[in-house]
Amino acid sequence: MWEKEIEKAKEHFGTLCREQLERIERMKQQEDWIDYGTLKPLIIGVVGGDGIGPYICQEARRILEFLLEDEVEKGKIKFRDIEGLTIENRAQVNKAIPDDVLAEIKKCHVLLKGPTTTPKKGDPWPNIESANVAMRRALDLFANVRPVKVPAEDIDWIFFRENTEGAYVLGRKGVNVTDDLAMDFKVITTQGAERIIRLAFDYAKKNNINKVTVVTKANVVKTTDGKFLSMAGQVAEDYPEVEWDDWFIDIMAAKLIDPARRSQFRVVVLPNLYGDIITDEAAQIQGGVGTAGSANIGKRYAMFEAIHGSAPRMVEEGRAQYADPTSIIKAAAMLLRHIGYPQKAAQLDMALDICSLHEKKKVCTGRSDGATGAEFADYVMKTIQDPHLEERWKKSQ
Can you give the binding site for Mg ion, defined by CB under 5 A?
A: 276
Would you give the distance in Å from CA 176 to the centre of its chain?
Answer: 30
**Per rule CB under 6 A, count of chain residues that contact ligand IPM:** 6
Q: What angle do the packed helices 53-67 and 342-352 form, to 10 degrees? A: 130
- DSSP letters of 225-240? HHHHHHHHHHHHTT-T
**Is 118 one of the binding residues for ligand IPM (CB under 6 A)?**
yes
- For residue 306, count CB atoms less than 10 angstroms from its CB and return exposed for 0-12, middle for 13-18, buried for 19 or more: buried
Q: How far apart are CA 397 and CA 391, in angstroms?
A: 10
CA 24 to chain centre: 22
Question: Shortest gap between Cβ of 276 and Mg ion (angstroms)?
Answer: 4
Q: In angstroms, rounded to a whole number, what is the distance separating the alpha carbons of residues 170 and 180?
A: 20
- CB of 201: closest distance to ligand IPM in angstroms? 23
- Could you tell me which of 234, 239, 227 has the C-alpha nearest to residue 188? 227
Nearest CB to ligand IPM, comparing residues 132 and 224: 132
Closest CB to Mg ion among 23 and 308? 308
What b/e readout covers 154-171, taking b as 16+ CB neighbours within 10 angstroms? ebebbbbbbbbbbbbbbb
Closer CB to Mg ion, residue 88 or residue 123?
Answer: 123
43-65 exposure pattern, b = at least 16 Cβ within 10 A, e = fewer: ebbbbbbbbbbbbbbbbbbbbbe
Residues 123-152 that bind ligand IPM (CB under 6 A): 130, 132-133
SS3 of 175, please?
A: strand
Is 289 or 377 the residue whose CB approaches Mg ion more closely? 289
224 interacts with, out of Mg ion, ligand IPM, none, CB within 5 to 8 A per kind: none
Instruction: Name the minimum Å distance from CB 353 to ligand IPM.
Output: 23
Q: Closest-CB residue for ligand IPM?
A: 130
Helix (H) or strand (E) run with residue 116 in it:
none
Spatial CB neighbours of 340, under 8 Å, sequence gap ≥ 6: 36, 37
The most distant pair of C-alpha atoms in the chain lies apart, rounded to whole Å, by: 78
> Considering beta carbons, is residue 109 or 136 the nearer one to Mg ion?
136
Cβ nearer to ligand IPM, comparing 132 with 356? 132
Residues 194-213 touching ligand IPM, rule: CB under 6 A, are: none
Name beta bridge partners: 143: 162, 297
Least separation, in Å, of the C-beta of 277 and Mg ion?
7
118 binds, among ligand IPM, Mg ion, none (CB under 5 to 8 A by kind): ligand IPM
In the shown chain, the binding pattern of residues 294 to 313 toward ligand IPM, with x for contact by CB under 6 A and - for none, equals -------------x------
Burial class (CB in 10 A: 0-12, 13-18, 19+), 70: exposed
Nearer to Mg ion, 249 or 350 (CB): 249
φ/ψ of residue 144, rounded to 5: -105, 110
Q: Please say which residue, 279 or 347, places its beta carbon nearer to ligand IPM.
A: 279
Count of C-beta atoms within a 10 Å radius of residue 353: 18
Q: Between 157 and 341, name the residue whose CB sits nearer to Mg ion.
A: 157
β-strand pairing of 293-297 with 143-150: antiparallel
Q: Which does 320 bind (CB under 5 to 8 A by kind): ligand IPM, Mg ion, none?
A: none
The number of CA neighbours under 13 Å toward the Cβ of 126 is: 11
Bond into 54 cis (ω within 30) = no
The set of residues, in sequence order, having a beta carbon less than 8 Å from that of 288 and lying 6+ positions away, is: none
Instruction: Compute the least distance from the CB of residue 132 to ligand IPM, in Å.
Output: 5
**Would you say 289 or 320 has its CB closer to ligand IPM?**
289
286 binds ligand IPM (CB under 6 A): no
Q: Does 276 participate in binding ligand IPM (rule CB under 6 A)?
A: yes
Binding site for ligand IPM (CB under 6 A): 118, 130, 132-133, 276, 307
